[in-house]
Amino acid sequence: MAVALDTPVTDFQAQATSGQTIELSALKGQQVVIYFYPKDSTPGCTTEGQGFRDHYPAFQAANTVVFGVSRDGMKSHENFKSKQQFPFELISDKDEAICQLFDVIKLKKLYGKEYLGVDRSTFLIDKDGVLRQEWRGVKVPGHVDAVLAAAQALHKP
């Protein structure tokens, strides 16, 4: 069952870059942005990650941590993070547990072939662990600005 708006997000643990294990419950007191993207080092995913990178100080000012999630492995994530100088961690979701929690695996078509892939999506969780906003089927241009505006509006110092 996928998480619904205005309900608490089920706690999860995941392996992330920099040798970290991310546990959602340990982030209480901070807002959390989780963005799902299809594949490391592809043009749209790189542009989206760079947007979060470039706006990261503003997210920090709004008491918001950012995590990127894809099904890529840790080696690919570490390379992508290093090459793009992302100041946030990337979560490897090879078993698709987090993808399933947020219901982002969708049937896609490429060159006439159907396959199951990650639907570019972003979720904003408040400081109490409640899902407050979601963006599905994201188009990259302008997206990070919209997420930042929502995080800033939700943040009450």
Active-site residue list: 45
Sequence-separated (6 or more) residues with CB below 8 Å from residue 86 = 49, 52, 53, 68, 80
Compute CA distances 123 → 11, 107, 112, 151, whole Å.
Answer: 14, 20, 30, 10
Please, what is the Cα angle at 58 between 143 and 69, to 5 degrees? Answer: 50
